[in-house]
Amino acid sequence: MLDHRLDSEYEELRRTVAEFAADVVAPTIGDFYEREEFPYEIVKEMGRMGLFGLPFPEEYGGMGGDYFALCLALEELARVDSSVAITLEAGVSLGAMPIYRFGTEEQKREWLPRLAAGEMLGAFGLTEPEGGSDAGATRTTARFDEATREWVINGTKCFITNSGTDITGLVTVTALTEPIARSSEEGGEASPKREISSIIVPVGTPGFQVSKKYSKVGWNASDTRELSFTDCRVPEANLLGQRGRGFAQFLRILDEGRIAIAALSTGLAQGCVDQSLQYAATRRAFGRPIGANQAIQFKISDMEMRTHLSRLAWRDAASRLLLAEPFKKEAAIAKLYSSEAAVDNAREATQIHGGYGFMNEYPVARFWRDSKILEIGEGTSEVQRMLIARELGMSS
């Protein structure tokens, strides 16, 4: 018999994070958001709680939990604020997880304890200015210098979360390491095969430059920047995983990350329901609470439906991941549905709040500004539909 209820350990975690979000994040995050300021004290407290170490083994400084636990935390944080949630999501699933999944024992022991403690943030350098959804069209290069046994990196990355904070310690970048000749069919001319590898670049490495913060529509209390590399040299040992497997490694990381973004999206969608219920009960018009009007009831009912289905979708994908079952299609479905549900709920919550929904002092204004990026980051809605179609056996 199936039981969709959380066990006691998961429920305790969910409740703990929910209380932290309500008591610590909610009262102050609006000010950080308006100042476009990174909330260092909140992040530090999240580190003390062990949130950055949730899915990692204790031997590397983690909490000995799993990816499902991380997603539970992300949903509860995003229920109050997405800037804080995306800082955790990117720090764990994009910053630390590549090292845990593909790093050597030395790399894990060097980096993971500080990343898991939240003392240091890692970033994920994949997207490039002319790449976007075509992440395989990497132009950043990494030439191996035989004389010094170093990688020499040149290129630019954009839209990189957690890359320029005072506690950012590393960025893992994908780079074109060497084209390998590949013979074409029927004896034609050889064509180059793009060899993409992953390399760890510590912050402060000469030739590694971090730009000023982007001016963004949403996620204003999170850190997002462009990165440039000019003859940036790192040791041979900074290669992450097998040479030439960098792109395949990051595809795996993105598959997992889509579950995390689905959980974050579900949290935002739930926050919209929470705020709308509260407002509908207290806002009076024409002599009665607006929640007494069927039009408002139907809007909130649809919002609750979308939130519920989003939660079921990400939990299904996360469960498949934990059971080591195929989950690529389910992750794409969860990310696609929940991100669009978040956008729809944010729009309806703003409408329910009327003019107040357009005022930044109300959380729904922040939700509305934060929601759209969920349909874009870690694979656009169009890319998710392509992935689902491919998993169904359809090809273009």
- Catalytic positions: 378
Which alpha helices (DSSP H) does the chain contain, by range?
8-20, 26-35, 40-49, 67-78, 82-89, 97-102, 105-116, 246-282, 294-322, 328-353, 363-371, 381-391
CA distance 370 to 216: 10
In sequence order, the β-bridge partners of residue 240 are 198
Q: Which of 372, 320, 384 is nearest to 345 (CA)?
A: 372
CA distance 167 to 233: 21
CA distance 101 to 90: 15
Q: Which of 323, 329, 344 is nearest to 276 (CA)?
A: 344
Q: Which of 251, 259, 254, 250 is nearest to 67 (CA)?
A: 259
The strand pair at 168-176 and 121-125 is best described as: parallel
In which residue are the tokens 């990189």 written?
160
- Extract long-range pairs of 146-149: CB within 8 Å, 24+ residues apart: 148/233, 149/235, 149/236
| The token pair that represents 311 in the structure block | 């939660």
CB 185 within 8 A of CB 171: no
In sequence order, the β-bridge partners of residue 173 are 125, 199
Please, what's the b/e burial string for 84-119 (b: 16 or more CB within 10 A of its CB; e: otherwise)?
bbbbbbbbbbbbbbbbbebbeeebbebbbbbbbbbe
| The token pair that represents 5 in the structure block | 């209820």
Q: Which of 49, 79, 75, 68 is nearest to 7 (CA)?
A: 68
CA distance 238 to 243: 11
